[in-house]
Chains A and B, each alone.
Chain A
Amino acid sequence: MGKVIVVTSGKGGVGKTTSTANLGTALALLGKSVVVVDADVGLRNLDIVMGLESRIVYTSMDVIEKQCELAKALVRDRRVDGLMLLAASQKNNKDDIQPEQMKAICDKLRTTHDFVLVDSPAGIERGFSNASAGADEAIVVTTPDVSAIRDADRIIGLLQNAQIEPINLVLNRFSAQLVGNGSMMDQADVLDILNIDLIGVVPEDSGVITSTNRGIPLVYEDASPGAQAYMRIARRLTGQRIPIPDLEDKGLFNNIVKWFTRNR
């Protein structure tokens, strides 16, 4: 029996889709069977980030309307074994799907795959309740800025009300340099506010933009720091215990500056 994990954030543009594509690919590279589900009906993107947009024939809407079997709607990613995509319909909108219907799909996928990653749309409305309806666990993606953190906080409250446990945090677009000169919140500050378990920190990496445009998830680029971070998160999801490396700048000067600003 596999796990259904919803990837969500509240705020848009913090890296939900990128994280879903990369974690899905990373888990498949680790030998797991994975389905990534795009729950952003009407504004689908996951197919593009994964480079599968030309191969979509059926969507989750067709499965719900019984136009095709669930297995037939899954698009196989040919680059790695065991990775499938269930695309969202682009011509419908989020109100055309009921949470129970999404839950039924997730429950079916869970019996055949190790991991089902659901890419949630931004917002707290129907799209979010559809995405989280079938979830056992959640990954909340946030960037270290106050607006993303407030939205993440809101989403965590809603996930807790829905009794989705555990809720893990991915801190995305983290810049050691900006933390070093005191203009970005550090890990400890974010965790102090959100008070949930951190499953990984992904550094700011311009490779994400190229990889999105080329439709090749970052994790295939072994040397990229972002790819390494996603691989570590995937390993943690499979139950391996891997410490979170300290990405903060260790330069002496920065530390002195930080020490002074902290103790102001």
Chain B
Amino acid sequence: MANPIVTLRAYRDGLHLIIKPRLSIAEVEEAIQQEISRMNRPLVGTSVQIVLKSPVLEEEEISLLRSKLQEDYNLTVRGIDVVDDESVSPPIAAAPTTHSISQTADARAPRNSEPSRIIPHTIRSGQTEEFPQGSLIIYGDVNSGSEVKAGGDIVVLGTLRGNAYAGMNGRLSAVIIAMDFAPLQLQIGNYACRSPVSQEPRGYAEIARIGAEDVIIVEKFDKF
């Protein structure tokens, strides 16, 4: 159920914490606590953009909120936007019709600052590799029944047969690349898709990313 006061949303540039207007700081704090506890994974170490709908919270209330997010949830505040409620709100991931892909051009930027981890072997059924800080590169296959999760991109130098979850911290520019693509499920940010039944590997490398239609698209991988 959506929280009526604050909303955490994943956008192409990371998480946004959207705070509705005309509320006391105490109500906002409580709502934030509820919203964060609703998330099924820790948000530790990620950054958020605070989006305030006018009328705005007081200056000291904002700084209080900033330090509280840092202390209680280990969330860094990236910046604060004030949006006039009457003006057009930022495109929301959950509302595909209003979402434009304006930020694909600078998709490289967050990638540059991300670390990556190399897994030098095949990931077998029942095994999980998780790297929320950045990208995963797998020198081998990701077999059926296994799972790879990364804050950034996932690159499989083999066959992807298991589940892959890129952009787990909300970076929607994350991609999944595999030499042979036969996954059970793909997820990028909060977008998920399931492969068609009995998909055979096509014999060339493929890339999955969020396309202009706001769905995960898988296409032949030519160059980055």
Residues of A within 8 A of B (CB): 124, 146, 150-151, 153-154, 156-158, 160, 192-193, 195, 264
Contact = CB atoms under 8 A, between A and B. Distances in A.
Contacts of B200: 264
Interface in B137-161: 140-141, 143-145, 159, 161
A158 B159 CA distance: 20
24 contacts: A150-B125, A150-B143, A150-B144, A150-B145, A153-B124, A153-B125, A153-B126, A153-B143, A153-B144, A153-B145, A154-B124, A154-B125, A154-B145, A156-B124, A157-B126, A157-B127, A158-B126, A160-B124, A192-B159, A193-B141, A193-B143, A195-B122, A195-B141, A264-B200
Interface of B, secondary structure class, is loop
A146 B144 CA distance: 9
Interface size class of B (residues with CB under 8 A): 10 to 19
Nearest to A193: B143
Interface of A, secondary structure class, is helix
Contacts of B126: 124, 153-154, 157-158
A156 B127 CA distance: 11
Nearest to B127: A157
Interface in B94-141: 122, 124-127, 140-141
A11 to B, nearest CB: 11
Contacts of B140: 195
Contacts of A151: 125
Given A157-B124, A157-B127, A193 B161 contact: yes
Nearest to B126: A154
A193 B145 CA distance: 12
Which of B125, B144, B161, B200 has the most chain A CB atoms inside 10 A of its CB? Answer: B125
A157 B125 contact: yes
A249 B69 CA distance: 66
A193 B141 CA distance: 8
Contacts of A160: 124
Given A156-B124, A193-B143, A195-B140, 10 more contacts: A124-B126, A146-B144, A150-B125, A150-B145, A153-B126, A153-B143, A157-B126, A160-B124, A193-B141, A264-B200
A192 B182 CA distance: 13
Nearest to B180: A192
Contacts of A156: 124
Top 5 A-B pairs ranked by shortest CB distance?
A: A157-B124, A154-B125, A153-B125, A154-B126, A153-B124
A145 to B, nearest CB: 13
